[in-house]
Every structure is written in structure tokens, then in C-alpha cells.
């Protein structure tokens, strides 16, 4: 029996985007790397559609760039988890300061603090979390893809804990 050895352009391009709408997504991983600007970090989150028989296991990716902390906070809250609050020690040139971080850590992050592409597996409370998000279809370099428009907050007592917080209603850049 003969089998197909080559791949067409359609085989390599992947499935078309899922229809716009609200989906349950599961956190399936991160591939952190320094952003092109060199000034921030992209966590490069990978999500999988969960509980939808038509689109089960379809992948959705989101950069979660540290220069746009609103998206990171909204994502973490959608998972029902608070941001990790830390005091960052100062040095000879800077004072210590308080900041919020993606909760958890990555294997080998301490060995390669300046090269997140060498970090290993994420270890933390977001592992395999299921959350709700609204997906929309956008076009990038002539190709349609899904993007997260809204992460829906699931953090218990969010409005009490952070009364001045307003979650984003559109994370997609125009």
C-alpha cells in the first residue's frame, strides 16, 4: 500500500480558526522568550480548547508580553488565581520595589535568568487550569488566526480584593 510522503501547503497551514465566541480553554504550556524589542518577555502561552466536541484539543496561542501586564493579570484572574506579589530587591542604582508576577516558576529560570528560551517546564498554579475566554478571528501576514479578545475573571472576590481594577474588554490591537 502506498502512503503519502509529501505535504501540501494546506497540510502545513493547519486547520482554519474556530468561529468567534466564548470557549473553555485549558493551559497546556508556555514557551518563554525575550521579545523582539529586547525590552520585555513573551511567555507564549499555549491553550487547548476544552469541552467542545467540534473543536476539542484545538490550539490557541497568546504572547502574554510583560510590557502589557493587563493581559497577564486578566489571564491569571481568568484561571481563578491571584497574581504573585513580590518585593524586588534593589541594588546600588535602584531601590527595592513591589511588583506583581505570573504565579509559579520555570525549571532552570535561576540558571538562565537572561535567556528564557532555555527555561524548562512551567511549575505553578496555572498548570492545566481551565478558564473562559472570548476568541476572535484576526488576520496576520495574510493568514487568519484566533486571538483572545477577553479573559473572563474567575478570581473569587476580585471586586473586593481589587476595587479599582477594570479587566480589559478587548485585548486585540487594532
Per-residue pLDDT of 38-70, as tens digits, reads 999 999 999 999 999 999 999 999 999 999 999
Domain count, the chain: 1
Confidence at residue 10, expressed as pLDDT on a 0 to 100 scale: 63
Q: Flag whether 142 is in a domain.
A: yes
Sign for the CA dihedral angle at 134, 154, 35, 170 comes to: positive
- Is 166 a domain residue? no
Domain contains 56: yes
Residue 5 in any domain: the answer is: no
Cβ contact 67:40 at 8 Å: yes
% the chain with pLDDT above 70 = 97
Is residue 174 in a domain?
A: no
Nearest to 88, CA basis, from 100, 76, 71: 100
Residue 22, by phi and psi: left (phi above 0), alpha (psi -120 to 50) or beta? beta
Query: Could you tell me the residue range of the domain that residue 136 belongs to?
Result: 17-161
117 located within any domain: yes
- Tell me, yes or no, whether 173 lies in a domain: no
Residue 11 lies in a domain: no
pTM value is 0.88
Q: Does 2 have pLDDT greater than 80?
A: no
**Among candidates 104, 117, 100, which has minimal Cα distance to 44?**
117
Amino acid at each position: 500500500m502506498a502512503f503519502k510522503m509529501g505535504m501540501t501547503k494546506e497540510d502545513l497551514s493547519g486547520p482554519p480558526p474556530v468561529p468567534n465566541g466564548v470557549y473553555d480553554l485549558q493551559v497546556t504550556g508556555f514557551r518563554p522568550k525575550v521579545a523582539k524589542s529586547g525590552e520585555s518577555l513573551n511567555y507564549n502561552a499555549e491553550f487547548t480548547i476544552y469541552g467542545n466536541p467540534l473543536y476539542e484539543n484545538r490550539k490557541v496561542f497568546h504572547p502574554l508580553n510583560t510590557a502589557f501586564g493587563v493581559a497577564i493579570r486578566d489571564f491569571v484572574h481568568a484561571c481563578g488565581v491571584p497574581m504573585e506579589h513580590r518585593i524586588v530587591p534593589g541594588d546600588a542604582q535602584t531601590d527595592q520595589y513591589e511588583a506583581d508576577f505570573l504565579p509559579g516558576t520555570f525549571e532552570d529560570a535561576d540558571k538562565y535568568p537572561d535567556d528564557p528560551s532555555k527555561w524548562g517546564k512551567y511549575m505553578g498554579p496555572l498548570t492545566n487550569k481551565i478558564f473562559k475566554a472570548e476568541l476572535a478571528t484576526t488576520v496576520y501576514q495574510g493568514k487568519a488566526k484566533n486571538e483572545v479578545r477577553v479573559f473572563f475573571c474567575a478570581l473569587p472576590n476580585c471586586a473586593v480584593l481589587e476595587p479599582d481594577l477594570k479587566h480589559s474588554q478587548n485585548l486585540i490591537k487594532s
